[in-house]
Amino acid sequence: MPVDTIIAHGDVVTPNSVRQTSVAIDDGTIVALGTRDQLPAARRTVDASGKLVMPGVVDPHVHIDEVPENRAGTYRAETRAAARGGVTTLIDFAWQGGDRRIPNNDKGLLDGIRNKRSKHQQSFVDFSVHGVLHRETEETLDELEAAVDAGVTSFKMFMSNYPVGVTNGFVNMAFNRIAELDAVAAVHTEDPSICEALTAKFKREGRGEPDQYPLSRPDYTEAMAADDALQMAVDKGVKYYGVHTTSEKAAETIASYQEDESHIRAETCTHYTTLDDSVYEERGTYPQIAPPIRKPRDIEAMFEHLEGGALSVVSTDHSVYHEEYKAVDNWWESPFGANSLQASLPVFHDEAVNKRGYSYPFLVRLMCANPAKTFGMPNKGTLEPGTDADVVVFDPDDRYTITARDNESNSTFSIYEGREVSGKVHQTYLRGNLVWDDGAIVAEPGVGEFVERDLPEWTQ
């Protein structure tokens, strides 16, 4: 019996190796790797000579279809951007109250999970959600077990001066419950009172220029909140995942608590590995995200800790805002967030592999294998036979300039506008379905599915 597809003669990248071989796909699953003559006949053979064949990217930090300004970011558009960027699985967020845009006090987290789950009809890639805990109530903790049973095995909290921010007192109790369930606690760490006081001071002093923004959320506030969270995480024995680490200080704090990766893990985002705070002078509030983009020294620290293991995942924190909300006079009028799903793999590849000489397996560990393992998706982020055939054919030498005119996202700008990179996604397969093919989306929305995640086992 012939198999569905063979991707032939590519340089196949796994977490540990690169070797020229072929990949056989049948019924949505990878069935074998081997030389062409070792594999069965195929209905379709794709020649990938001279290209990389890698697992689809797993991006565990993505916001779609959320806050009012974010209505631009729909599943239909943002998951097209994901497919074009080689991202085949993403983890979005489910909010208490059903829908972050229209929270309903009679509804809880499970309603939020149901709401996001229903988006699969519009999706071009597979996705899951983290449950966001922002109501400091007993009922919140009572819902966690049912969420885990529904395949949502990680919960996010914001230690931040956001409307959805929570107190240390609540984080402490939530860690306890999350540890009992053996789930993962993901935490945004910025000391809320310092960020709040500095924001108020900058407003009083009229310091609204975008280049002032990073000074209102200094690196030590990120390290202080991370330290608070980690003290509690160690006490409770909870699996702790530090979200979007940006600074040397925060990374060092995380590293200081991490004997190995069995209990404490953390991510950084593509932009923190490649942009520095001069971006605020160049692009105003468009790259205004929280925590802010830092100093050149912090970029170096991100790579040191990605290499050392304190940071083990590169995500995007993709969020989409209509340009009108971003094009404001004072930075405090701008929402936090920027889109980057489509550019993440090409930009990180260019920075890490082309400019800094890191290996392809290093990239595949950080963008595919580690996020899948960290969040309980054994069929994702790998090309092992028996797993989902989420495969990206990537030409490392294809050189082009990033421009928002190419955005599949509803976002009309890019924080990487004008950047020249080498490395482009040529094909993206989702469970064997060709979704992106050399310049066009070739699948229908709804090809994506909701992924019910396992409780992850974290070993070193």
Q: Which residues bind Zn ion (CB under 5 A)?
A: 317
Least distance in Å: CB of 132 to Zn ion?
A: 10
According to DSSP, the β-strands at 391-401 and 313-315 are: unpaired
Least distance in Å: CB of 216 to Zn ion?
A: 18
Compute the distance between CA of residue 192 and CA of residue 59 in angstroms, rounded to an integer.
27
Sign of torsion over alpha carbons 406, 390, 375, 307: negative
Letter for the amino acid at 330?
Answer: N
Least distance in Å: CB of 93 to Zn ion?
A: 8
Tokens of 310: 């304190």
Tokens of 168: 């240390």
Q: Which residue is nearest to Zn ion (CB)?
A: 317
Nearer residue to Zn ion within complex by CB, 284 or 291? 291
Least distance in Å: CB of 337 to Zn ion?
A: 7
Compute the distance between CA of residue 430 and CA of residue 380 in angstroms, rounded to an integer.
10
**Contacts of range 286-289, beta carbons closer than 8 Å, 24 or more positions apart:** 286/326, 286/338, 286/413, 286/415, 287/338, 287/415, 288/210, 288/213, 288/326, 288/331, 288/334, 288/335, 288/336, 288/337, 288/338, 289/317, 289/319, 289/336, 289/337, 289/338
Nearer residue to Zn ion within complex by CB, 317 or 390? 317
Nearer residue to Zn ion within complex by CB, 337 or 432? 337
Count of beta carbons in the 10 Å neighbourhood of residue 146: 13
Q: Are 433 and 448 in contact (CB under 8 A)?
A: no
Q: Which residues pair with 400 in a beta bridge?
A: 421
Q: Which residues pair with 55 in a beta bridge?
A: 391
Nearer residue to Zn ion within complex by CB, 92 or 219? 92
According to DSSP, the β-strands at 126-132 and 239-245 are: unpaired
Least distance in Å: CB of 282 to Zn ion?
A: 23
Nearer residue to Zn ion within complex by CB, 347 or 425? 347
Least distance in Å: CB of 78 to Zn ion?
A: 14
Nearer residue to Zn ion within complex by CB, 228 or 317? 317
Nearer residue to Zn ion within complex by CB, 68 or 418? 68
Least distance in Å: CB of 317 to Zn ion?
A: 4
Nearer residue to Zn ion within complex by CB, 188 or 305? 188
Least distance in Å: CB of 32 to Zn ion?
A: 38
Least distance in Å: CB of 61 to Zn ion?
A: 6
Nearer residue to Zn ion within complex by CB, 269 or 306? 269
